[in-house]
Structure 1
Amino acid sequence: MQITTTIIGAGVVGLAIAAELSTTRRGILILDRNPSFGQETSSRNSEVIHAGIYYARDSLKARLCVEGNRMLYRICEAGRIPHRRCGKLIVATEKAEEGILASIRERARENGTDPLELLSARQIRQLEPNVKASAALFSPATGIISAHRLMRRYLSQATRNGAQLVTRTTVERVEPAGAEGYRIHVAYPDGLSDVFTSRQVVNCAGLDSDCIAESMGIDVDACGYRLHYWKGEYFSLEVPAGFIKRLIYPVPQENHVGLGVHATIDLSDRVKLGPNATYLPDRNIDYAVDATARQSFFEATVRYLPGIAAVQLHPEMTGIRPKLQKPGDPARDFIIAEESSKGLPGLVNLIGIESPGLTASPAIAKYVGALIGG
């Protein structure tokens, strides 16, 4: 196969881009260092279809999430991907938080989401008897999805169009190669290595996307491309099926470090709490759940689910967010940049693609397709 476009990273965004680009071009190669697709951030999250509520007006996160939300529901219907438009409540557990709800509602309106309904304590009890809050916003466009089935759908579309996925392949560096495009240096688990050329490169390497960009000679610190790892742990909540029927979120944390310890349901009606947000200054990959965090999770959750007990919480899983902000930094937008201005035509860097990346994935794919051209 003559390689024209190499996509580094087979997470949900890389696969969505492969599906999109493969409709009009051939010679697409998708590389991933893991044994299979989607084994890092894409499979370690809440599997929520976000509405685009919280993000800054006109940001990529806002625009691509709102567009992606509507696209994703259509994709799910057409592809029979398991999903549920369950809706979510953003709850104020004390009067002081009710003003925050008003600002969230205004931000959602600016972003063009489906309108949010302001609910009273009585209305909340009618919808969710186990939830205690003084007020809440109801988001009808929020839902849940099987992330694995979505990724499999993208991959099947891409491979049907001739794209090829190669796993267990680590990209060590990417170098400009003049008229040929780029030389891509890869390593395999058996210690062997290889080099090949590709006219275009799409860097969707997730946790290592800044390192890939740096290998191309980009000063990632000067450009604001340096990533910071944040660990997010989850606990399952042992409750009867139907304990909650919608997603329950507290008001978000400052600077959107996270959306707080929220309660989500999956497609089998299991309840999961999390994630929290712990900064990992050394960028160490640690997927262990700290069982001692049970108490802090309980204290955060019992504010809006007062009927639970700490013994009902059980360690579940951990994900790592590739964020563009350190503790104390303001919220950052996605970086999706075609790098001709840096002397690197045909290269698109996607860096800091965290939540709502899964929801935005089909819209991100369209955006990258427009950037990279023919």
Structure 2
Amino acid sequence: MAERVDAVIIGAGVIGLAVGRALALAGREVIILEKNATFGEETSSRNSEVIHAGIQYKTDGVRAALAVKGRDALYRFCAEHHVNHARCGKLLVANGDREVTGLAPLKANAEQNGVDDLTIISGAEARALEPSLQCDAAILSPSSGIVDTHGLMLALVGEVENHGGVLALSSPVTGGRVNAAGLEIDVGGADPVTLQARTVVNCAGLWADRVAHAFEGVPAQSIPQLRYGKGQYFTYSGAAPFQRLIYPLPSPDSQGVHYTRDLGGQAKLGPDITFIDTNTDYSLDETRRDAFAAAARRFWPDIEAAKLQPGYAGIRPKLKGAGEEGDFLFSGVKTHGVAGYLGLYGVESPGLTTCLAVADHAAALIAHSG
């Protein structure tokens, strides 16, 4: 016999934890199911840890609508919950006439997204801020920053548990069924159980499409097929050359190999992007070092390739392929006809930045659907 619960969140990455928190704050009884032995083991712990300003996303998209809200909410949350972060700023650099010409439309796009603090500066002004930098012009983004992702997730878990929610680790979803009362969920692990939930939110990230297909009654045609964008990072063994984040101009499917640093001062480059067929390949290709150095040398001429060391790899759940711009997808009852089920698909960058705004939007959709 199924155990009755109110709301089940599938996946304890930063998105699942934030959604669980939002529902718990709204007074819902929340259980977050996570197949791994701890929270945030996949995409949430294998990224740049950047708080994005919301600059390049297409203006009619979901990411654009949530980026500034999410950025501001994240800074407030980190300050209120003592999560280590830094509003260090970012420079998007341009070299050559074509790239310099591209700065103005990029700034205009950002302004349509609500980003109102950008400034186009000359190469000399950029070098005055960052003496090791090489560029002809740049966009200065003072509201970009970095965050301790693990600390953020710990704070979200604490909020969930303080409001009566439960995080169930090593609890993979193995199947389920749509029924008149909501959804039944088969949960594996050491003590398998079947749960009867009124509300289910699929925040399984790289596994969201497979989880959705495991539920009998969720129409297959409503479930998108995820693509996997793998990115690798190299760390730099020397002193960090820049205080701000340094980015090239973005392409539709990537923000390019960029420079970031963590809160401890460790410099790193990445990610590149390669589309792969599996969502579990975190291997590192050390032969990419020279390519990373060459990409960075356009804005960091003094980089020493020998100081680049393989760091880590991450995989993004993408809805579009190479060269295409993706977006977030909230798939609710209007899409699939299943009351009580909300699927979140393609929540890649800036998922970390927008996690609280994503959660608020998901909670509003659930409340609106009854």
Normalising by structure 2, we get a TM-score of: 0.95
2:244 match: 246
- Residue by residue over 1:43-97, the C-alpha shift from the partner in whole angstroms, topping out at 9 and shown as x without a partner, is 1000000011011113110111110111111111111110000000000122221
1:349 to 333, 338, 343: 343
CA distance change for structure 1 residues 284 and 142 in 2, over 3 Å: closer, same or farther?
closer
- Checking the alignment, whether the CA contact within 8 Å between 1:340 and 1:347 is kept in structure 2 is no
SS in 1 for 2:193: strand
Unpaired segments of 5 or more residues in structure 1? none
1:19 match: 21
Superposition RMSD on alpha carbons, in Å? Answer: 1.5
- Checking the alignment, whether the CA contact within 8 Å between 2:74 and 2:353 is kept in structure 1 is yes
- Checking the alignment, whether the CA contact within 8 Å between 2:209 and 2:223 is kept in structure 1 is no
Return the offset for 1:105. Answer: 0.5
SS in 1 for 2:116: coil
- Checking the alignment, whether the CA contact within 8 Å between 1:228 and 1:326 is kept in structure 2 is yes
CA distance change for structure 1 residues 198 and 340 in 2, over 3 Å: closer, same or farther?
farther
- In the aligned structure 2, how far is the partner of 1:341 from the partner of 1:245? 45
Alignment of 1:69-108 (within 5 A): 69-108=71-110
- In the aligned structure 1, how far is the partner of 2:306 from the partner of 2:65? 41
Alignment of 1:273-284 (within 5 A): 273-280=269-276, 282-284=277-279
- In the aligned structure 1, how far is the partner of 2:309 from the partner of 2:162? 41
Larger mean CA deviation between 334-343 and 28-37 belongs to: 334-343
Q: Counterpart of 1:239 in structure 2: which amino acid?
A: G
1:260 to 256, 259, 266: 256
CA distance change for structure 1 residues 261 and 367 in 2, over 3 Å: closer, same or farther?
same
SS in 1 for 2:91: strand
Q: Does 1:369 align with 2:358?
A: no
1:206 match: 205
CA distance change for structure 1 residues 42 and 120 in 2, over 3 Å: closer, same or farther?
same
- In the aligned structure 1, how far is the partner of 2:116 from the partner of 2:10? 34
1:296 to 265, 286, 291: 291
- Checking the alignment, whether the CA contact within 8 Å between 2:12 and 2:40 is kept in structure 1 is yes
- Checking the alignment, whether the CA contact within 8 Å between 2:178 and 2:218 is kept in structure 1 is no
Alignment of 1:147-158 (within 5 A): 147-158=149-160
SS in 2 for 1:70: helix
Q: Does 1:136 align with 2:138?
A: yes
SS in 2 for 1:136: strand
1:325 to 288, 310, 320: 320
SS in 2 for 1:350: strand
Q: Counterpart of 2:58 in structure 1: which amino acid?
A: A
- In the aligned structure 1, how far is the partner of 2:160 from the partner of 2:60? 30
Unpaired segments of 5 or more residues in structure 2? none
- Checking the alignment, whether the CA contact within 8 Å between 1:29 and 1:163 is kept in structure 2 is yes
Return the offset for 1:341. Answer: 4.5
1:228 match: 227
Return the offset for 1:35. Answer: 0.5
- Checking the alignment, whether the CA contact within 8 Å between 1:114 and 1:139 is kept in structure 2 is no
Q: Counterpart of 1:181 in structure 2: which amino acid?
A: G
- Checking the alignment, whether the CA contact within 8 Å between 1:87 and 1:246 is kept in structure 2 is yes
- In the aligned structure 2, how far is the partner of 1:300 from the partner of 1:75? 35
Return the offset for 1:306. Answer: 0.3
SS in 1 for 2:176: strand
1:311 match: 306
Normalising by structure 1, we get a TM-score of: 0.94
SS in 1 for 2:39: coil
- In the aligned structure 1, how far is the partner of 2:21 from the partner of 2:161? 8
- In the aligned structure 1, how far is the partner of 2:115 from the partner of 2:176? 39
1:127 match: 129
- Checking the alignment, whether the CA contact within 8 Å between 2:282 and 2:313 is kept in structure 1 is yes
Q: Counterpart of 1:194 in structure 2: which amino acid?
A: V
- In the aligned structure 1, how far is the partner of 2:250 from the partner of 2:335? 36
How many residue pairs were aligned? 365
Alignment of 1:155-170 (within 5 A): 155-170=157-172
- In the aligned structure 1, how far is the partner of 2:127 from the partner of 2:334? 55
- In the aligned structure 1, how far is the partner of 2:176 from the partner of 2:103? 46
